[in-house]
Each structure stands twice: as structure tokens, then as C-alpha cells.
Amino acid sequence: MKTISRWIAVLLIGAATGCGATGTPEARIAALAGATQDAPATAPPAILPAPRIPPTPAQPDLIRRVNVGIESPYTLGDPIPLTADILAEFRMEQGRTKFDRYLDVLVYRGDALNPVDDAKIKVLGAMREMEHGSFRLGASPEGGGHYTLSMPTIMPGQWFIDITVTSGGKETTIQLMVELFD
Ligand SMILES: [Cu+2]
């Protein structure tokens, strides 16, 4: 019974310390210390944290378009029609941190020679089944039909990015799934 309640405590601590399955190294050490605090004095010393592994080059982001619930490949920069004559191209690159992504949306009428500079773009980002980390931000007009946003995609995993473009009184939402790898 005592052992079971310890394990529950460990699980609860693990659940409370983050959305990842493993939590931070510090959290794991804390959980371990909590679970062994009434161990005999002859217990071996606490396990030292593994050396911190420096960030390694991540594998490229996996990007897909989600359209009425169906995912299909999306190559950054490919035009997606928003209305009968308005198109948008979506580009992303790594931002200032490992997981932030810099988003560039190019909006134009017919072809890129006719940029649309009076669009409004709102971006909603969320991880499925995770309450934390959602963001709702506007992209800034940069001229030439470009709208940019530094997206606080704070952790690896699958992010669903809803990009709502309002132009000429018409609103269209494009959803991209961006999977970031650690
Ligand atoms: Cu998360």
C-alpha cells in the first residue's frame, strides 16, 4: 500500500511538472527524492542528473495542411487559394529560440505582382490535448503583401496553426499542422 501511494505521488509529480512524459531533469530528481526520503540510511547516493545534452540539429519540421479534418502534405511557399482570386503562400523558419518559428504569409491577388497590403491576419496556435501554450496573435504587415509573426511555439510536438486571413470583407482560415522535433 505504501509503495503504491509512493508511485502515485511520483506519477502526480510527473504530471504536474510539465506536459512532457518525463518532465524536466530537476523534476525527475525531485520526484525521486520524494519517493526515497524514508529509505534506510545505507541507501546508495541519489542518482546524479545526466549531463545536459546540448541542442542538436533538429530534424526538419514536418508541415502538413489540414483541410476539413484531412491532412495532406504542404510544401512551404506553395500558394493556397483563399478566395476566387486571392492566394496566400506560407513560409516558416526557425526563430530566436530552438522552437519558436518565424511565420511569413504572402498574400496576393492573382499573382505575386499584385500584393494585397490591406489584409488582416490572425494566427491561433495550439497543441492538441494540451491546455498550455496556446497563442492568438496578429501578424504584422511588412509591405509587399508580406505579413510576419514570431510564433511562440514553445516545445516540440504537433502544433495546429490556424491562420485567418481577412481581405475584401472575406475571411478564410488555413490550418497547418507543424510538427517540431527535439
Ligand atoms: Cu505541450
* pLDDT tens per residue, range 107-158: 999 999 999 999 999 999 999 888 788 999 999 999 999 999 999 999 999 9
pLDDT digits (tens, 9 = 90+) for 20-40: 444 444 444 444 444 445 555
Instruction: Say if residue 17 is in the same domain as residue 82.
Output: no
Task: Give the DSSP H or E segment for 12.
Answer: helix 2-16
* Domain assignment of residue 12, given as a range: 1-53
Q: How far is the CA of 110 from the centre of ligand 1 (A)?
A: 38
Instruction: Say if residue 37 is in the same domain as residue 110.
Output: no
CATH number for the domain harbouring residue 83: 2.60.40.10
Question: Is the pTM above the cut of 0.85?
Answer: no
The candidate with the shortest Cα–Cα distance to 46, out of 28, 27, 33, 65, is 33
DSSP 43-93: PPPPPPPPPPPPPPPPPPPEEEEEETTEEEE--TT-EEESSSSEEEEEEEE
Q: How far is the CA of 161 from the centre of ligand 1 (A)?
A: 14
* 5: CB partners within 8 A, 6+ apart: none
Q: How far is the CA of 26 from the centre of ligand 1 (A)?
A: 18
Q: pLDDT category, 84, cuts 50, 70, 90?
A: very high
Instruction: Say if residue 22 is in the same domain as residue 70.
Output: no
Instruction: Say if residue 44 is in the same domain as residue 68.
Output: no
Q: How far is the CA of 123 from the centre of ligand 1 (A)?
A: 18
* pLDDT tops 50 at residue 60: yes
What rounded mean pLDDT belongs to the chain?
81
Instruction: Say if residue 143 is in the same domain as residue 175.
Output: yes
* Domain count within the chain: 2
Place of cell 518559428: 101
Instruction: Say if residue 77 is in the same domain as residue 19.
Output: no
Q: How far is the CA of 177 from the centre of ligand 1 (A)?
A: 14
Instruction: Say if residue 33 is in the same domain as residue 105.
Output: no
Instruction: Say if residue 8 is in the same domain as residue 35.
Output: yes
Place of cell 502515485: 8
Instruction: Say if residue 73 is in the same domain as residue 163.
Output: yes
Q: pLDDT category, 46, cuts 50, 70, 90?
A: confident
Residue 44 has which C-alpha cell?
546508495
* pLDDT tops 80 at residue 168: yes
Q: How far is the CA of 126 from the centre of ligand 1 (A)?
A: 8
